Chain A
Amino acid sequence: MEHITLLIAIVIATALVFDFTNGFHDTANAMATTISTGAMKPKAAVAMSAVLNLVGAFLSVEVAKTISGGIIDEGAGVRPEVIFAGLVGAIVWNMLTWLLGLPSSSSHALFGGLIGATLVSVGADGVNGDKVMMKILIPAVAAPIVAGVAAALATWLTYRLGRGLDDRTASKGYRAGQITSAALVSLAHGTNDAQKTMGVITLVLITGGTLGPGSGPPLWVIVSAGLAISLGTYLGGWRIIRTMGKGLTDIQPPQGFAAQTGAAAVILSSSHLGFALSTTQVCSGAVLGSGVGRKGAAVSWGTAGRMAVAWGLTLPAAGGVAAAAALLADQGNAGVTAVALLGAAACSSIWVASRRKPVHADNVNDVEPAATVSTVTTASLADTPVLAAGAPVGITVTGAANAAVLHPPTDPAPAPAATA
């Protein structure tokens, strides 16, 4: 029993760490355009998003009965070690994509990690292939298209209707609209993503026998999951915010408003019409669409392409790391300890690498407009020691290219302030 208790404690801590990375990874979804158009100051924006994430965590009592929506057959012998390995894979991939400033889906990282760990520990029977197609692959392709078309049409319309508006009224109006729709996205994010971690922790408690089968999450689980995701959100994933707010296209307030409203509408309608789409892909698609919809706006398709590559890699990469972790974790206590240490080492080295070119609240908007920064230089290869984290070799190309986007030579000397 002693062993089980300790293992479960480790898994819970890991789930909260994942929740935390989920928070800072997804701040950009709600707040990138709000920050880059200057509708809100960076710190105020992440603070509002954090509070709404926390509120969102408490709002809904409809906890997912299965952590993975049926993708993994949780009855087929999924043990705490498997969930632990899956979480480690998801965390490492989230850290890596954050370092590269790429908005990839945290949910897909979690699913990928769980799938990879299950394949190794339980076998192919534990994974439901049809569900993977229906719940991950098709939505991944559909989300940016739906959100992109909606945002592009809305952007075109708002510029057309708003011709000849005086600047003062327009900027006041668009500012209010942007803040409102960003708030909705934050709230929806809190209810969805904090619940995922609650589901993981609850499942672990049930498999460990601490909770009876079919129990809901205890209050301390709700509170700690809500706090972890809000803390992550408040830290602000500035690297990803910069990519989404400045890297894809040069966003003006009407575009920010159209993109953010489109994102809120797509997220809410899709989750309530039975075809849930990933928040990250919806928001990135909406930002791209708003670039397409404004005449004369430059869209950096290179950055968009790198994002698409990251989306494609999320499932296999998180799965690969998790599969390796599951192999180790299956070796008993020493294996679990080794996975924990290796995971911590990978995260620390990624964090240390991020300190070389920190992005924070004070410099998040200091970047050239999208069209001029997409030049790729080989010199930046040295900035991306990503292999240390066990990523597939293919990503280094993406990494080098993206580092060039995020850190153009004109970057002002960064101040050593708190970053994320």
Chain B
Amino acid sequence: MNIDWVALGTVFGVSVAVTVGLVGLFTVGIVALSRQEGAAATGNSVLAARTGAVACFGLCLAAVTYGIYLIVA
């Protein structure tokens, strides 16, 4: 019997990296969104926080799109 350790290891590595990466990215996006609201309330510039939030959520959206592509393909 032949256990494909390489495939198993790859699945482990990729799964953990993608999960942690996406969850981290999304959380940073939420934090940025929260900062933007805080900045708006105090009258400071919201540009940096907004750019950060858009970038984070954009990357997450790209990952979801790729996921749908994987399901369909």
- Are A and B subunits of one complex? yes
Q: How many residues of A contact B (CB 8 A)?
A: 48
Contacts of B31 in A (CB 8 A): 161-162, 165
Q: Are B23 and A146 in contact (CB under 8 A)?
A: no
Residues of A within 8 A of B12 (CB): 142, 146, 149
Task: Return the CB mask of A148-162 against B: 1 if under 8 Å, else 0.
Answer: 011101110110011
Cross-interface CB contact of A174 among B8, B19, B30, cutoff 8 Å? B30
Q: Does B40 contact A (CB under 8 A)?
A: no
Task: Tell me if A133 is interfacial: C-beta within 8 Å of chain B.
Answer: yes
Q: How far apart are the CA atoms of A161 and B30 in the complex, in Å?
A: 10
Q: Which B residues lie within 8 Å of A166 (CB)?
A: 34, 37
Q: Encode contact with A along B20-61: 1 for CB under 8 Å, 0 otherwise.
A: 101110111111011001000000000000000000000010
Q: In the complex, which residue of chain A has the Cβ closest to the Cβ of B53?
A: A173
Pick the contact of A165 from B15, B26, B30, B72 — CB < 8 Å?
B30
- Whether B26 and A257, one on each chain, are in contact in the complex, defined by CB atoms closer than 8 angstroms, is yes
Chain B minimum-CB-distance residue to A192: B71
Contacts of B19 in A (CB 8 A): 150-151, 153-154, 258, 261-262, 265-266
| CB contact under 8 A between A142 and B34, given known A157-B23, A161-B27, A184-B67 | no
Residue A59 lies at the interface, judged by CB distance under 8 Å to chain B: yes
Chain B binder among A14-22, A101-109, A270-278, A323-331: A270-278
B15 touches A162 (CB 8 A): no
The residue of chain A having its C-beta at the shortest distance from the C-beta of B4 within the complex is: A275
Docked Cα-Cα span, A328 to B55, in Å, equals 62
- B71 is contacted by which of A134, A150, A151, A187 (Cβ under 8 Å)? A187
The interface residues of chain A, by DSSP majority, are classed as helix
Provide the bound-state CA to CA distance between A138 and B1, in Å. Answer: 12
Contact residue among A187, A254, A273 (Cβ-Cβ distance under 8 Å from B68): A187
Contacts of B3 in A (CB 8 A): 133-134, 138
CA distance A133 to B8 in the complex (A): 14
Q: Is A180 an interface residue (CB 8 A)?
A: yes
The contact size tier of chain B is: 20 to 34
A153 to B23, CA, bound (A): 10
* A247-285 contacts to B (CB < 8 Å): 254, 257-258, 261-262, 264-266, 268-270, 272-275, 277
Chain B interface SS verdict (over half): helix
Residues from chain B with a CB closer than 8 A to the CB of A187 are: 68, 71
- Cβ proximity bits A127-156 to B, threshold 8 Å, 1 near / 0 not: 000100110001000100011011101110
Specify which of A154, A177, A268, A272 is in contact with B20 (CB 8 Å cutoff): A154
Which residue of A has the minimal Cβ distance to B36?
A169
B70 contact set on A, CB distance < 8 A: 268, 272
Q: In the assembly, what is the distance between CA of A174 and CA of B1, in Å?
A: 44
> Which chain A residues border B20 with CB–CB below 8 Å?
150, 153-154, 157
CA distance A171 to B20 in the complex (A): 19
A254 to B10, CA, bound (A): 27
Query: What's the Cα separation between A60 and B73 when bound, in Å?
Result: 7
For A151, the chain B residues whose CB sits under 8 A away are 19
A89, CB-defined interface residue at 8 Å:
no
Least Cβ distance of B59 to chain A in Å?
A: 13
Q: B62 in the interface, Cβ–Cβ < 8 Å?
A: no
Within 8 A of B (CB), among A324-380: none
Asked if residues A165 and B34 are in contact (CB atoms below 8 Å), the reply is yes
5 extra interface residue pairs, beta carbon distance < 8 Å, beyond A153-B20, A173-B29, A257-B23: A184-B68, A187-B68, A191-B72, A262-B23, A265-B18
A sample of 20 cross-chain residue pairs with beta-carbon separation below 8 angstroms, ordered by A number, consists of A134-B3, A142-B12, A153-B20, A157-B27, A162-B27, A166-B34, A166-B37, A169-B37, A170-B34, A177-B60, A191-B72, A257-B26, A262-B15, A264-B67, A268-B67, A268-B71, A269-B14, A269-B15, A270-B11, A273-B10
